[in-house]
């Protein structure tokens, strides 16, 4: 891989070695006496420069235009010191093989900088760009660091189901799962009744089922058996929202801690975030430097770039405020908000961003103890009878990154809660059983993985930090 060739010293220690690289041509520049090619295999940001002279086998493929932008090539040659330009080394080709041709004149990724909006329309080719390539590598590193953190702390990973009848958040933002049936003896379609209406009796073999909004309730089952567990996978929300922070399909990390309260939960969230941030600072230097460069244009004077911000996060404690304190701060703020601030109303993302960006100057903030009416039924009620042991972690540029809580472990309180929220007790019989048989204080949180990638890279739109975004109008492949 080109990444291994470049290594820690830009490749200088490998000068003189015979090497083979395989990748895609980013640019070709034919001079009179020789040609330059930039080739990238996606293992790193910069790729490798290739110089090729007429005596090299395959040189004619450059002259006749077969090797164009987008073509897949294999190049054999000697790594030499580079005399000009940005790179320290380059590959002096002895043999160039075209693996897959590309029509450079119609290739949708021309040299110029494309907008991210345009790139979303060619989701099949955008991983070949610097931005999506860098995002993908950082995302992969974050996923690795996530497993590393929880595994090293003795958590067991549990794969919770994607299809379920439960609505964890009780917000009704679910997608229904339907069985397609052959119609007119051939093509499958949505089942209909004799009257031509959608036949819901076909839902998941006769029972209504949905795509999960959260694996939490299933994770609680395992936390009350295996102690600390985590689930990490895709979750779905049928919210028809066109924001830069919402997707219909997103990945969520959900640890669930047994014999734990809200303080343990917050400490876990903080230690986790610090771990993954340190990991990418150490292992994704070139990609992060690219994001810093990319941010430069839009960054207001005096504002910290992603790497400065992440370095702060890796070393500093998070700020803590209660919801009630946060509301007081917002009421006294000089800024006028679009949505009114009022005790009892949920914090809007403009409020969340103001807290973390302005009041706490870029520090992550944990807001705790929200009014029980605006949070989910499973959160543990505080002694004041008005608030629950909830916590949200807010970060600059993103707003809510994490939502979590201590869970209601008291059977009678939980039963009352289900009633208050007009949820069917029968549907939660298994969840209530966990409170009947060996109930323990437990707590957990959910982190929106794409929001984490946004936070770490500074990429503005959530649609650009997932391989194939799912949002209104984005579902083709
Ligand atoms: O706050 P939420 O809804 O919490 C839960 O689902 C809990 N059951 C989690 C738990 O305690 N185990 O979602 C958790 C996080 C949010 O803080 C946000 O980062 C992300 O998931 N999130 C979304 N990310 C992208 N697109 C969406 N539509 C999202 N909705 C929530
Ligand atoms: Mg939330």
User: pLDDT of 261-299, one tens digit each?
Assistant: 999 999 999 999 999 999 999 999 999 999 999 999 888
Tokens of 338: 């679009």
77 strand-pairing partners:
19, 93
pLDDT score of 198 more than 80:
no
Q: Please check whether residue 90 is in contact with residue 75, taking contact to mean a CB–CB distance below 8 angstroms.
A: no
d(CA 377, CA 393): 19
Identify the band that residue 302 occupies on the pLDDT scale cut at 50, 70 and 90.
confident
Task: Between 195 and 410, name the one with better pLDDT.
Answer: 410
d(CA 157, CA 146): 11
Q: Please check whether residue 449 is in contact with residue 142, taking contact to mean a CB–CB distance below 8 angstroms.
A: yes
Mean predicted confidence (pLDDT) in 59-87: 93
Mutate to test the pocket of ligand 1, among 171, 217, 250 (most ligand atoms within 8 A of CB): 250
Domain with CATH 2.40.50.140 in the chain: 2-107
d(CA 139, CA 76): 31
Instruction: Take atom 11 of ligand 1 and give the residue whose Cα is closest.
Output: 445
d(CA 376, CA 417): 10
Burial class (CB within 10 angstroms; exposed 0-12, middle 13-18, buried 19+) of 311: middle
Tokens of 176: 């229904």
Q: Please check whether residue 445 is in contact with residue 439, taking contact to mean a CB–CB distance below 8 angstroms.
A: no
- Tell me which residue has tokens 């946004």: 454
Domain with CATH 3.30.930.10 in the chain: 131-161+217-464
The pLDDT, as a whole number, for residue 387 is: 98
Instruction: Take atom 9 of ligand 1 and give the residue whose Cα is closest.
Output: 446
Q: 37-46, 129-138, 148-157, 194-203: which range is least confident on average?
A: 194-203
Model confidence pLDDT, tens digit, residues 380-435:
999 999 999 999 999 999 999 999 999 999 999 999 999 999 999 999 999 999 99
d(CA 279, CA 313): 12
Q: State the SS3 of the chain.
A: CHHHHHCCCCCHHHCCCEEEEEEEEEEEEECCCCEEEEEECCCCCCCEEEEECCCCECCHHHHCCCCCCCCEEEEEEEEEECCCCCCCEEEEEEEEEEEECCCCCCCCCCCCCCCHHHHHCCCCCHHHCHHHHHHHHHHHHHHHHHHHHHHHCCCEECCCCCEECCCCCCCCCCCECECCEECCCCCEECCECCCCCECHHHEHHHCCCEECCCCHHHHHHHHHHHCCEEEEEEEECCCCCCCCCCCCEEEEEEEEEECCCHHHHHHHHHHHHHHHHHHHHHHCHHHHHHHHHHHHCCCCCCCCCHHHHHHHHHHCCCEEEEHHHHHHHHHHCCCCCCCCCCCCCCCCHHHHHHHHHHHCCCCCEEEEEEEHHHCCCCECECCCCCEEEEEEEEECCCEEEEEEEEECCCHHHHHHHHHHCCCCCHHHHHHHHHHHCCCCCEEEEEEEHHHHHHHHHCCCCHHHCCCCCCECCECCC
Looking from the CA of 207 toward its CB, the CA atoms found within 13 Å total: 6
Helix orientation angle between 306-315 and 449-457, rounded to the nearest 10 degrees: 120
Q: Please check whether residue 83 is in contact with residue 6, taking contact to mean a CB–CB distance below 8 angstroms.
A: no
d(CA 215, CA 368): 22
Total residues belonging to the chain: 477
pLDDT score of 193 more than 70:
yes
Q: How far does the centroid of ligand 2 lie from the alpha carbon of residue 241, in Å?
A: 15
81 strand-pairing partners:
89
Domain 2-107 sits in CATH at 2.40.50.140
Q: What percent of the chain has pLDDT above 70?
A: 98
Q: How far does the centroid of ligand 2 lie from the alpha carbon of residue 462, in Å?
A: 16
Please tell me the number of the ligand nearest to residue 346's CA: 2
Mean predicted confidence (pLDDT) in 18-30: 96
Q: Left (φ > 0), alpha (ψ -120 to 50) or beta: where does 100 sit?
A: beta
Q: What percent of the chain has pLDDT above 90?
A: 83
Angstrom CA distances, 174 to 62, 158, 203, 232, 427, stand at 53, 22, 14, 19, 16
**How many Cβ atoms sit within 10 Å of the Cβ of residue 275?**
17
Please tell me the number of the ligand nearest to residue 167's CA: 1
The pLDDT, as a whole number, for residue 382 is: 98
Q: Indicate the fold that domain 131-161+217-464 takes in CATH.
A: BirA Bifunctional Protein; domain 2 (3.30.930)
The pLDDT, as a whole number, for residue 171 is: 81
Q: Please check whether residue 163 is in contact with residue 233, taking contact to mean a CB–CB distance below 8 angstroms.
A: no
User: Both ends of the chain: CA-CA distance in Å?
Assistant: 28
Instruction: Take atom 17 of ligand 1 and give the residue whose Cα is closest.
Output: 402
Q: Is 402 in the pocket of ligand 1 (CB under 6 A)?
A: yes
Q: Is 79 in the pocket of ligand 1 (CB under 6 A)?
A: no
Mean predicted confidence (pLDDT) in 123-127: 97
Instruction: Take atom 21 of ligand 1 and give the residue whose Cα is closest.
Output: 448
d(CA 402, CA 391): 8
Mean predicted confidence (pLDDT) in 80-102: 94
Q: Please check whether residue 443 is in contact with residue 265, taking contact to mean a CB–CB distance below 8 angstroms.
A: yes
pLDDT score of 113 more than 90:
no
Q: Please check whether residue 192 is in contact with residue 180, taking contact to mean a CB–CB distance below 8 angstroms.
A: no
Q: pTM higher than 0.90, yes or no?
A: yes
Q: Please check whether residue 469 is in contact with residue 247, taking contact to mean a CB–CB distance below 8 angstroms.
A: yes
Identify the band that residue 185 occupies on the pLDDT scale cut at 50, 70 and 90.
low
Q: How far does the centroid of ligand 2 lie from the alpha carbon of residue 435, in Å?
A: 24
């Amino acid at each position: 891989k080109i990444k291994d060739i470049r290594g820690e010293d830009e490749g200088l220690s490998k000068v003189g070695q015979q090497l083979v690289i395989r990748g895609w041509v980013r640019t070709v520049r034919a001079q009179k006496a020789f040609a330059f090619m930039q080739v990238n295999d996606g293992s790193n940001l910069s790729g490798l420069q290739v110089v090729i002279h007429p005596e090299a086998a395959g040189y004619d493929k450059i002259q006749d235009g077969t090797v164009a932008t987008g073509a897949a090539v294999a190049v054999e040659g000697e790594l030499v010191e580079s005399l000009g330009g940005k790179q320290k080394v380059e590959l002096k080709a002895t043999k160039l093989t075209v693996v897959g041709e590309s029509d450079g004149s119609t290739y949708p990724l021309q040299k110029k900088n494309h907008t991210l909006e345009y790139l979303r329309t060619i989701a099949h080719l955008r991983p070949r760009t610097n931005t999506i390539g860098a995002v993908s590598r950082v995302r992969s590193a974050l996923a690795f660091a996530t497993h590393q953190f929880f595994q090293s702390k003795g958590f067991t990973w549990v794969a919770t189901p994607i299809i379920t009848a439960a609505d964890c958040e009780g917000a009704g933002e679910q997608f229904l799962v339907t069985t397609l049936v052959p119609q007119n003896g051939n093509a499958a379609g949505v089942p209909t009744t004799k009257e031509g209406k959608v036949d819901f009796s076909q839902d998941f073999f006769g029972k209504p089922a949905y795509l999960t909004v959260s694996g939490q309730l299933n994770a609680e089952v395992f936390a009350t058996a295996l102690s600390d567990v985590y689930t990490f996978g895709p979750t779905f929300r049928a919210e028809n929202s066109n924001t830069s922070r919402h997707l219909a399909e997103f990945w969520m990390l959900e640890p669930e801690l047994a014999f734990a309260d809200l303080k343990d939960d917050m400490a876990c969230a903080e230690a986790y975030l610090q771990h993954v941030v340190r990991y990418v600072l150490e292992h994704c230097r070139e990609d992060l430097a690219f994001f810093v460069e990319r941010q430069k244009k839009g960054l207001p004077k005096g504002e910290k770039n992603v790497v400065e911000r992440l370095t702060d996060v890796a070393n500093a404690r998070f700020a803590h405020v209660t919801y009630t304190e946060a509301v007081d701060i917002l009421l006294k703020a000089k800024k006028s908000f679009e949505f009114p601030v009022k005790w009892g109303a949920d914090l809007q993302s403009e409020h969340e961003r103001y807290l973390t960006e302005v009041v706490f100057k870029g520090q992550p903030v944990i807001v705790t103890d929200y009014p029980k009416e605006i949070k989910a039924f499973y959160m543990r009620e505080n002694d004041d009878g008005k608030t629950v042991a909830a916590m949200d972690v807010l970060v600059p540029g993103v707003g809510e990154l994490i939502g979590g809580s201590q869970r209601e472990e008291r059977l009678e309180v939980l039963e009352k809660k289900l009633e208050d929220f007009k949820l069917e007790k029968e549907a939660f019989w298994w969840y209530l059983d966990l409170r009947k048989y060996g109930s323990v204080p437990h707590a957990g949180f959910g982190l929106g993985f794409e929001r984490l990638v946004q936070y770490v890279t500074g990429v503005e739109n959530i649609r650009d930090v997932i391989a194939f975004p799912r949002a209104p109008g984005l579902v083709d492949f």
